[in-house]
Amino acid sequence: MCIHIFKNYILAIGLLFACSHSSNSSTEQPGIIQTDSNAIATKLLTLPYAERIMGESAQLTGNTYLKKRDTLEYKCDYTAIAEDKITRKTGKLYFMYEVYANVDAAKNSYTAIYEANRRNQGVEVVSGLGDEAYYHSDGNNFYFCLVRKGEKMFRMKVNKVTIHSSASEFKEVTRRITDSIK
C-alpha cells in the first residue's frame, strides 16, 4: 500500500515539474547575445560608464537577453577587477533594460516596484528624468535607480559600494542613459 502511494506521489511530482517546465519555456525565450557583447544593455551602460560609476577598472561579467511574453529584457553586469583594500568589497554594477508591449504595461511595472519601496529610507523621486524615476540609497551599501520613459524602463544598482564608487557619477550616467533612450 505504501509503495503504491509513493509511486503515485512520484508520478504527480514528475507531472507537476513537466508542466511547470513546459509553461516556462513558452513564455521565456532566451535571445542570442553576440560574442562581442552587443546587447542593448551594454550599448546603454557601456564599460566606460560603468568604470566612471565604480571609480575603478571593471569588466563585463554578464550579458543576457530574454523575451518574457510581450516584454524584452536585457541585463548586464560589471564587476570591479580588484577588491577594495579598505572596505574588502569587490564593486558590482547591475543593469536591466526592459521594453514593454505598451506604455501602460511599463507604467504598471514601474508603479509596482516603486510602491514596494517608497516607504524605505533613502527613496527620492527624481522629477525631469524620463517620464517617472526614483533614486534609492542607504548611503553606505548600494545605489539604485529606476527610470521609465514611454514603454521602456531601466534599473541600475551598484551593490557593494566601495571607497571608489561615486553617487554623483551614478546619477550623471543615469541621466545620460535616459537621454539616449528614444
Place of cell 560609476: 53
Q: Could you tell me where the beta strands, DSSP code E, fall in 53-91?
A: 58-68, 71-80
CA distance 68 to 11: 29
Is-contact 47 78, C-beta < 8 A? Answer: yes
- Residue 2: its pLDDT value, please? 43
CA 75, distance to chain mean position in Å, is: 6
The pLDDT of residue 163: 94
Query: What's at 60, amino acid-wise?
Result: L
pLDDT at 39: 64
Which residues of the chain carry a pLDDT beneath 50?
A: 1-37
Q: What is the pLDDT of residue 45?
A: 93
With beta carbons less than 8 A apart as the criterion, state whether 33 and 43 touch. Answer: no
pLDDT at 28: 46
Q: What was the pLDDT predicted at 33? A: 45
